[in-house]
Structure 1
Amino acid sequence: MRTAPLAIASALVLLLTACGTQVADPGASGSGGAAPTTGTGAAGMPPGATATPAGGGSSSAAKSGPPSAKATSGTGEFIAAATVLEKKGEGPQLCLGGVAESLPPQCGGPVIDNWDWATAPKSETAADVRWGEYLVIGTYDAAASTFHLTKPATTREEYDGPLPTAPPDAMFTTPCPVPEGGWRVVDPAKATRAAQDAALEAAAKLPTYAAAWLDQSINPADPEKQPEAMNDPVKLILNVKVTTDAAGAEKQLREIWGGMLCVSEGGRPEAELRKIQEELSGKHGMLFSAVDGQTSTVEFGVIWDDGSLQKAMDAAYGLGVVHVTSALQPYPG
């Protein structure tokens, strides 16, 4: 299940799902310095990712700084679901990164060298800009920054051919065992939205803080019909992960939060992952980056990686610390 942003008190950003909510660090700055973007066209973009319009394990911190690796061209055909946008005087671009929310939208990427709006499905126009949402299949030339269609463009709704395997959706589950008598609120007076926000802020200030998320799976409400009901603080489990001393962290948080609480141990400090994310900002043709506290990884999106960039990341930061995701996927047809 994908997420949608929801602003709540104290400027915490929660990303809702039917199963849970990942909490972004209240004080963390994004990577890339891009204009506000949506996930439209950003293939594989995880919740909470910072997108940049395209075209433009060890538990220690970086061993040798950002790795050096060149963008690579792929062999064979690729498939992508993305926005295609053309500004007056510029070629049609395949927007594989974020799309800025504006009218007209703003984005960029490899030029599609054989695009023809006359044969493309439905599109929109505004202020000398034409765009549409398409599923495209073709070849990619990294050196020329071009994409060449090998099959007619279509829409996601009309396409009935083979698709690459999609990555699993994030599941915000609770790792703690169910307490004797089941999950329950221990102090209703401290199981409020304000107390929840305060607990999240306090957790983020812990020196061993790794992540926080809300497990909403115990809430019987229908997230599609009653999205606001999913935020009921007495019908969720506040999860906090720290690298060490879970008992000490739980004691501190219990002074603030009276709702259901699970404090677990593991992973890397979020501050360490944020440092890596900042080092990588804008490099290697970055499309997006995001810190995943649950898996203690930095998700890093590029147009295409043949494995050489992932290898360089593993050498620089430790095996699997940075997970490289390619927006273009091999066409399975």
Structure 2
Amino acid sequence: MRTIALLVAAAALLLAGCGTDPGTTAADPVGRDRPAPPSQVPEAPGEVATRGVVTVLQEARPEVCLGAVAESWPPQCSGPPLLDWHWDQRQAGLDRPGGTVSPGGADAYEQAGPVRWGQYVLTGTWDGTALTVLTAIPAALYDAPSAEPVDPPATSGTDSDGSPRLARIAREAGEELPGVLASYVAGDHVAVDVVYDDGSLQDWADTAYGEGVVVVTPALVDVAAD
């Protein structure tokens, strides 16, 4: 009996040792020690411009739509408030069924009921919550510059589109970063579109997930001083 008791005790000690061995515990390294993300969209130190043509829409107040726009009549979208925006500085006045459009002018806006909208390239100042307009170029007059070649982000090459790790990072970054417009897996990295980034959002992503894993792209970009 004593021999059996000793064997049982030895087996119990062996099982206890296995349970506490850190080498046998599954751990998920993604985001274990991530720093706290910035709590709000940064303020721009100088003038900013939209990355391209955007929709300005007003139902209750003027907004600049920096994300997706539903192609309905009138279109549906939302975005940060637009300050110092005056529709009477745009050309309007030609009635037509369902709305109005300016008579042949390049600086046109459309209207359906109480909703007005138009497409412009904007410059202004960004205080972290609203864009104060300085200039507005109508889409019809905007001559888009030729796109410069962009080097792909440096990545480890170990992930691919559909990776559970990247999908989880896209979800986390989309929930935690301020001012996110979209967050998705793009090839072997995560693309996060935001309203504005002074560099702090990208720095956080690099620290949290590794350089090149998350690429932050702002809709409002800094205008280089002359």
Counterpart residue number, 1:273: 166
* AA at the equivalent of 1:288: A
The C-alpha deviation readout for 1:219-258, integer Å capped at 9, x for no partner, is xxxxxxxxxxxxxxxxxxxxxxxx9xxxxxxxxxxxxxxx
Q: Is the 8 A contact 2:191 2:214 kept in 1?
A: yes
SS at match of 2:139: coil
Gap regions ≥5 residues in structure 2:
1-28, 91-106
1:67 deviates by 4.3
* AA at the equivalent of 1:271: P
* AA at the equivalent of 1:273: L
How many Å separate the matches in 1 of 2:200 and 2:150?
26
Counterpart residue number, 2:58: 86
Q: Is the 8 A contact 1:71 1:305 kept in 2?
A: yes
Residues 166 and 304 (structure 1), Cα distance of their counterparts in 2 relative to 1, 3 Å cut: farther
How many Å separate the matches in 2 of 1:102 and 1:74?
33
Residues 309 and 168 (structure 1), Cα distance of their counterparts in 2 relative to 1, 3 Å cut: same
Residues 323 and 66 (structure 1), Cα distance of their counterparts in 2 relative to 1, 3 Å cut: farther
Q: Is the 8 A contact 2:34 2:207 kept in 1?
A: no
How many Å separate the matches in 1 of 2:170 and 2:108?
37
SS at match of 2:138: coil
Counterpart residue number, 1:64: 33
How many Å separate the matches in 2 of 1:157 and 1:316?
42
Counterpart residue number, 1:159: 142
User: Which one has a bigger Cα radius of gyration?
Assistant: 2
* AA at the equivalent of 2:89: T
How many Å separate the matches in 2 of 1:166 and 1:311?
25
Gap regions ≥5 residues in structure 1:
1-59, 172-242, 244-265
* AA at the equivalent of 1:72: P
1:139 correspondence with 2:111: no
1:65 deviates by 5.3
* AA at the equivalent of 1:141: D
Counterpart residue number, 2:132: 148
Residues 170 and 108 (structure 1), Cα distance of their counterparts in 2 relative to 1, 3 Å cut: farther
RMSD: 2.8
1:66 deviates by 7.8
1:99 deviates by 1.1
How many Å separate the matches in 1 of 2:41 and 2:138?
28
* AA at the equivalent of 2:54: A
Q: Is the 8 A contact 1:63 1:317 kept in 2?
A: no
Q: How does 1:92-241 map to 2 (within 5 A)?
A: 92-120=62-90, 121-142=107-128, 145-151=129-135, 153-159=136-142, 166=147, 168=149
| From 216, 220, 224, the counterpart of 1:324 | 216
Counterpart residue number, 2:190: 298
Residues 169 and 104 (structure 1), Cα distance of their counterparts in 2 relative to 1, 3 Å cut: farther
Q: Is the 8 A contact 1:66 1:279 kept in 2?
A: no
Q: Is the 8 A contact 2:35 2:207 kept in 1?
A: no
* AA at the equivalent of 1:79: A
How many Å separate the matches in 1 of 2:74 and 2:151?
31
How many Å separate the matches in 1 of 2:34 and 2:138?
41
Q: Is the 8 A contact 2:41 2:197 kept in 1?
A: yes
1:289 correspondence with 2:199: no
1:267 deviates by 2.8
Residues 304 and 118 (structure 1), Cα distance of their counterparts in 2 relative to 1, 3 Å cut: same
